[in-house]
Chain A
Amino acid sequence: MEPQAKIETKDLNLFYGTFHALTDVNIRIPARAVTAIIGPSGCGKSTLLRCFNRMNDLVEHTQVTGRIAIDDQNILEPQTDLIALRRKVGMVFQRPNVFSLSIYNNLKFGLRIHGMLSRRNEIRQSVRTGLEQVGLWDDLKDKLSANAHTLTLEQQQRLCIARVLILRPDIILLDEPCSALDPIATLRVEELLRVLCKDYTLVIVTHNMQQAARVSDFTGFMYLGRLVEFADTQKIFTNPAEQLTEDYIRGSFG
């Protein structure tokens, strides 16, 4: 049975000026699962990810055509509420980009901009829940006022995930979230993603094929701005339908 699609694109095309970055992408990303997007550098996987929270809007001369439906709502409509969209679709970046603020204020930031600041003990509760969800509470509960830059990179990246979680999103986009981390930290963050996918829809862009194989339920392979193949991760890695996918997975190019 086809699982329910959380994100669905229809004939999605994207141009940066005259550069055709995405061509006719049709993808159905299932809810409450980890979907990995793999492909060589410059294939458009990050660009695709940034379509889902309309971060590409920030790049001048970007033109998008087609349809991106999240919960059957076309987010490319001009009247889309970007603030609500980005709260619902959180994003974690490649570098652990914590603000140069205390751990507490890093988490409070999102609450503040969304007018979710309530009573002090409710904020504390949100902060605690957020840190617990990413497994940082026990380590950090006594140093919430420390500058977030004093944490290890792994902790910083977990904090970035907590910063997204605290806004209670549906979808979390992760743009190569482990590329700044060492192998052991990478494995631990991947474990976290496996836990989170019980409640959230995760989309992870990675150029690390082993990571895609370990962490994802579904995998899409992109090449030169096109989605070449999309299937169960197991199928992609054992029995891909396309020759191109097989060549990439075997390491013939990319």
Chain B
Amino acid sequence: MNGAKLRQQIAFSVLGAITLLIVVPIILVILYIIINGAGSITWQFLTQAPRNGMKAGGIFPAIVGTILLVVGTMLFALPLGVLSAIYLVEYARDDLFTRMIKLSVVNLSGIPSIVYGLFGFTAFVLLLHFGTSLLAGSLTLGIMSLPVIITASKEALESVPLTYREISLSLGATKWQTIRYCVLPYAIPGILTGTVLSLSRAAGETAPILFTVAAFYLPRLPHSAFDQVMALPYHLYVIATQVPNIPLSISFATALVLIALVFLMNLVSIILRAHYRKKRLW
């Protein structure tokens, strides 16, 4: 073997080993959680409220709370994010104002989640009198999710070839018709990916919901958007730090449910993406 080939072999092996190194911790974490938590996952655990100082019973209200929060976040952040991305890509001129918007979107994604929590508490809970509620929590998580949704949607829209817009306009379509029929359908897979990514982050966040929605212990389902809910990440934090003498397996089982929920969301996005991508050939 000559020198160049050997070096090529070495580079290849090093790169492969490093990639493997990245996968190892993820697999270990998941395996560890499954091994320690799977035993405690029973039908009761998934469908019952916690009992006996949260040492027994299930986590049903927390599961429902997290799902409701994700849905609420999506209802708020998806339209706002996609519409502003459309504005930025299709309509905005490249002027100072646009650049300021783009800069704030970038900066928004760099803000620590606890700051979002405090902002949500001041703005939604206190100022707008929503109280500690599903609404306040969803809005807070929504604002936190916006930058990722906007950035992903922007990239998806920008990746639609310019010629599509050109043909559509040359056939006499208005700008809105062009966006509606020639741009959006092809941008949907990318938009979906970004949305699900940011929503699965939102599902796992604790800090933003800490002061805005999360209930320490509330063994019933919410009655309205102005009700508090339990949520999986906060529940996990509570039982891991605030409840003494709780079986460790309950914490692991809760973590496992949270991870499974996030995986499920990603799976749905993959299926949707594959479905839309069939139409996209260019």
Contact = CB atoms under 8 A, between A and B. Distances in A.
B163 to A, nearest CB: 5
A100 B164 CA distance: 10
A60 B94 CA distance: 10
Given A93-B167, A97-B163, A112 B181 contact: yes
Contacts of A100: 186, 279-282
A38 interface: no
A83 B173 CA distance: 6
A100 B277 CA distance: 11
Contacts of A95: 163
Interface stretch (A11-19, A22-30, A84-92): A84-92
B106 interface: no
Contacts of A101: 279
Contact of B170 (A91, A99, A112, A114): A91
Contact of B172 (A114, A147, A149, A160): A114
Interface size class of A (residues with CB under 8 A): 20 to 34
A101 B174 CA distance: 19
Nearest to A53: B170
A164 interface: yes
A101 B181 CA distance: 11
B182 interface: yes
Contact of B169 (A58, A84, A160): A58
Interface string B84-125: 000000000100000000000000000000000000000000
Given A100-B282, A109-B181, A163-B171, 14 more contacts: A55-B166, A55-B169, A55-B170, A86-B169, A86-B170, A86-B172, A90-B170, A99-B164, A110-B172, A112-B181, A113-B172, A113-B181, A167-B171, A167-B172
Interface of B: 93, 163-164, 166-174, 177, 181-182, 186, 279-282
26 contacts: A55-B166, A55-B169, A60-B93, A83-B174, A85-B172, A86-B169, A86-B170, A86-B171, A87-B171, A87-B172, A93-B166, A93-B167, A97-B164, A99-B182, A100-B186, A100-B280, A100-B282, A109-B168, A109-B171, A110-B172, A113-B168, A113-B172, A114-B172, A147-B281, A149-B281, A160-B167
